[in-house]
């Protein structure tokens, strides 16, 4: 996602962001084009640390303070009259989303593992992607009922020979780890999550709200911590006798390439199965499927399963989002519509222009 390249000016970043937003959010495309030429807003952005000048952080913070819709005149007025308040929100918050629909692409890799499962999600956000067994699934007519009948149904259209699960796995323990956990029981955190969804992203906001409502009935535990340093201590808390699965989705773009390698070495040292769901160039060594624009690659243990390239292809296909399996934004009923979960992100250096959509 463009817009976070620390090597170029804020105006250039906003123009690059506008190009990316063209198909996804006309409202954000138009705002970003206007901000790139607005001296007062650029001056305000210049007063913030470079990593806090991101378009999606500015627009999310404006929505947080103003409500919707944020147009250019309201944004200018906010910067003119309440720049301290706006800066405070931008300094306190991060560009974080939590997309429950990603459970639908990870589930087929999770379901065949020996039960019961103990799950650790690193970069779990609010923990919505820990709740595989609460949601229901509809893979183009292949339906699986979740434990919470009021939780959303996540719809996916598999393309290619995707190994679809017959049932949900038994999950005996789960925990998230995040630099900045969001609390589903906090109205402010929930509002921030919803402000991070871009205008024009179909039913994503409704799906988020339904997943949050389900999570509030039995909130997931997400610990504050860094995936680079705090994973082994959390893994040590997992119950014996369960299959420990460490996984992450749309997270490693936030850490430098060197730190991704350090993280990979840490996970490999644990008695755990490792599932990663990241952009194609994020974890080196994972084969990239031949689909154009595949946003995510699902891999097990940092590689294709030894000796089973067919399965590897299936898993890669499954994880590649729009191209191989399409997540539809509808949360309960109606025809499956194309779409893929994605989120604004702000990688600290490196890969600012990678193809990964989170
Ligand atoms: C794009 S969100 C993805 C959330 C969730 N995995 C999903 O797929 O919806 C990335 C999350 O990673 C977290 N994160 C980034 N760097 C991290 C780190 N070094 N350690 C732990 N969490 C981190 C962020 O705070 C954010 O909540």
Residue 273's nearest CA partner among 107, 106, 113, 104 is 113
Pocket test for ligand 1, best of 97, 125, 223, 327 (most atoms within 8 A of CB): 125
Please tell me the predicted confidence (pLDDT) of residue 289: 61
| DSSP code for 270 | S
* 99 Cα nearest atom in ligand 1: 9
The DSSP call for residue 303 is B
Atom of ligand 1 nearest to the CA of 248: 6
Which ligand 1 atom is the nearest neighbour of the CA of 126? 27
Cα 94 to ligand 1 centre (Å) = 10
Q: Tell me the C-alpha distance between 186 and 223, whole Å.
A: 15
Ligand 1 atom nearest residue 345's Cα: 1
Q: Residue 291's pLDDT is what?
A: 55
Predicted confidence at residue 279, as pLDDT, reads 85
DSSP code per residue over 158-218: E-S-----SSPPPEEEEEEEESS---TT-HHHHHHHHHTSPTT-TTHHHHHHHHHHHHHHS
| Ordered per-residue pLDDT tens for the chain, 358 residues | 566 788 889 999 999 999 989 988 999 999 999 999 999 999 999 999 999 999 999 999 999 999 988 999 999 999 999 999 999 999 999 999 999 999 998 999 999 999 999 999 999 999 999 999 999 999 999 999 999 999 999 998 887 777 899 999 999 999 999 999 999 999 999 999 999 999 988 889 999 999 999 999 999 999 999 999 999 999 999 999 999 999 999 999 899 999 999 999 999 999 999 999 988 788 877 766 655 556 788 889 886 544 343 444 444 444 433 333 433 333 332 222 222 222 222 222 222 222 223 3
Tokens of 29: 């495309």
> Structure pTM?
0.84
**CA 96 – ligand 1 centroid, Å:** 7
Ligand 1 centroid from CA 179, angstroms: 7
* Closest to 351 in 3D by CA, of 268, 262, 278, 256: 256
Strand bridging mode 153-158 / 136-139: parallel
The residue whose CA has the least distance to atom 16 of ligand 1 is 254
**Euclidean distance between CA atoms 124 and 177, whole angstroms:** 6
With CA atoms as reference, report the closest residue to 32 among 66, 68, 62, 6: 62
Sheet holding 117-122, edge to edge: 222-224, 171-178, 117-122, 243-249, 273-278, 297-300
**Which of 1, 110, 179 has most ligand 1 atoms within 8 Å of its beta carbon, as the pocket-test mutant?**
179
Nearest residue CA, atom 24 of ligand 1?
A: 123
Rounded CA-CA distance 46/83 in Å is 12
Name the closest-CA residue to atom 10, ligand 1.
251
pLDDT computed for residue 76 by the predictor:
98
Pocket test for ligand 1, best of 228, 233, 251 (most atoms within 8 A of CB): 251
CA angle 156, 160, 166 (to 5 degrees): 55
pLDDT of residue 1: 54
Of 153, 160, 175, 176, nearest to 107 by C-alpha is 153
Reading the block at residue 130, the tokens are 């820990």
For ligand 1, which residues put their CB under 6 angstroms from it?
94, 96-99, 102, 122-125, 129, 177-180, 226-228, 249-251, 254-255, 343, 345, 358
| Residue 192 to residues 79, 98, 230, Cα–Cα distance (Å) | 19, 11, 25
- For 102-342, CATH number out of 2.60.40, 3.30.70, 1.10.8, 3.40.50 equals 3.40.50
Closest by CA to 45, choosing from 2, 3, 74, 96, is 3
Distance CA 69, CA 66 (A): 8
Cα–Cα distance between 341 and 279 in angstroms, integer?
12
The pLDDT assigned to 274 comes to 96
* Ligand 1 atom showing the smallest separation from residue 259 Cα: 19
Q: Where are the alpha helices (DSSP H) in 239-297?
A: 257-268
**Where along the chain do its domains lie?**
10-92, 102-342
């Amino acid at each position: 996602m463009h817009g976070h390249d620390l090597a170029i000016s804020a105006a250039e970043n906003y123009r690059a962001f506008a190009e990316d937003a063209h198909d996804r959010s006309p409202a954000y495309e138009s705002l970003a084009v206007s901000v790139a030429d607005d001296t007062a807003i650029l001056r305000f952005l210049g007063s913030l640390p470079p990593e806090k000048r991101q378009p999606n952080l500015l627009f999310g913070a404006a929505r947080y303070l103003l409500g919707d819709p944020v147009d250019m005149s309201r944004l200018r007025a906010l910067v003119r009259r309440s720049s301290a308040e706006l800066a405070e929100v931008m300094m306190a918050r991060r560009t974080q989303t939590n997309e429950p629909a990603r459970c639908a692409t990870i589930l087929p890799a999770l379901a065949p593992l020996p039960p019961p499962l103990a799950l650790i999600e690193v970069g779990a956000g609010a923990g919505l992607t820990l709740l595989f067994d609460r949601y229901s699934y509809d893979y183009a007519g292949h339906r699986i009922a979740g434990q919470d009948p009021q939780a959303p149904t996540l719809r996916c259209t598999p393309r290619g020979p995707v190994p679809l699960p017959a049932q949900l796995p038994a999950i005996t323990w789960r925990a998230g780890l995040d630099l900045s956990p969001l609390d589903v029981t906090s109205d402010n955190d929930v509002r921030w999550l919803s402000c991070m969804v871009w205008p024009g992203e179909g039913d994503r906001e409704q799906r988020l709200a339904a997943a949050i409502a389900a999570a509030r009935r039995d909130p997931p535990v997400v610990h504050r911590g860094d995936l680079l340093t705090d994973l082994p201590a959390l893994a040590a808390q997992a119950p014996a006798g369960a299959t420990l699965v460490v996984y992450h989705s749309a997270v490693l773009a936030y850490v430098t390439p060197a730190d991704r390698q350090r993280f990979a070495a840490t996970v490999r040292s644990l008695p755990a199965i490792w599932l990663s769901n990241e952009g194609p160039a994020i974890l080196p060594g994972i084969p990239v499927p031949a689909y154009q624009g595949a946003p995510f690659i699902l891999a097990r243990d940092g590689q294709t399963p030894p000796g089973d390239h067919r399965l590897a292809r299936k898993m890669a296909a499954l994880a590649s989002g729009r191209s191989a399996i399409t997540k539809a934004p509808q949360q309960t009923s109606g025809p499956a519509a194309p779409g893929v979960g994605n989120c604004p992100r702000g990688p600290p250096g490196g890969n600012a222009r990678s193809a990964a959509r989170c």
